[in-house]
Amino acid sequence: MTRTGRSVLVTGGNRGIGLAIAQDLAARGDRVAVTYRTAAPPPGLYGVACDITEPDAVARLFEKVTVEQGPVEVLVANAGIVRDALLLSMTDQDVDEVLDTNLRAVIRVVKHASRQMLAERWGRLILVSSSAAFTGSPGQTNYAAAKAGLVGLARSLAWELGPRGITVNVVSPGLIDTDMTRDLSKARREQFLSRTPLGRPGRAEEVAAAVRFLASAEAGYLTGAVLPVSGGLGMGI
């Protein structure tokens, strides 16, 4: 079944990977809404200021998107934060903030989207994880744990929602050239690249292309999968 002009929601879609995904899908005719917190919404997209860690804010988000462009048919759960430190130096707040945004909020957003998709017996849920979930990442125990949790979430939901025509998949980016990764130290960046067979950072547009496929009709028999867009970083894990 080919669908055009779908209602799409991309969390954290105002910059970096999320913006590239949102712009890619919009360019192909979808109606795309994005959430943002601190920066202004990108031009040409329907922006909703939303703290996805707040249950009431998420409920209002889905109400606004439904009124503006219809019930969500494709959800890309991309919003995420980092609070890096070695575990022995990591505060409870560092742990809680990352788990709240990168895992608990994703569960919350997916729950709302699923309700809307069930009525149509069709939907695409795409969760943006990280190669850190599979390789581990010193100084990012909170982040890696949250991103690994998305895999269990997706595979459990694949069982729950598959009979209703809803697919649930994970994209796992490696080192992608964004504002966030440009802040990495030279040594840290070189460490990532030394473990990347292609020897270069990825582009946000390359992640967007993977998401576009998972959101397509052609990916209708693909669910519970993890698609690495990592230049080979963590391959086979």
* Annotation marks residue 143 as catalytic: yes
Nearest 10 degrees: CA dihedral of 137, 142, 145, 148?
-80
Residue by residue, DSSP assigns 100-147 as IIIIIHHHHHHHHHHHHHHHHT-EEEEEE--THHHH--TT-HHHHHHH
Nearest 10 degrees: CA dihedral of 212, 217, 222, 224?
60
Q: What's the CA gap between 136 and 100, in Å, rounded? A: 20
Burial (CB count within 10 angstroms: exposed 0-12, middle 13-18, buried 19+), residue 163 = exposed
What percent of the residues of the chain are helix, what percent strand, and what percent coil, each to the nearest 5? Answer: 50, 15, 35
Q: Residue 33 is inside which H or E element, if any?
A: strand 31-36
- 171: tokens are 């994209």
Catalytic residue among 36, 46, 143, 221: 143
Residues facing 93 on adjacent strands: none
Q: Residue 63 is inside which H or E element, if any?
A: helix 55-69
Q: Please give the DSSP secondary-structure letter assigned to residue 184.
A: S
Residues with catalytic function: 143
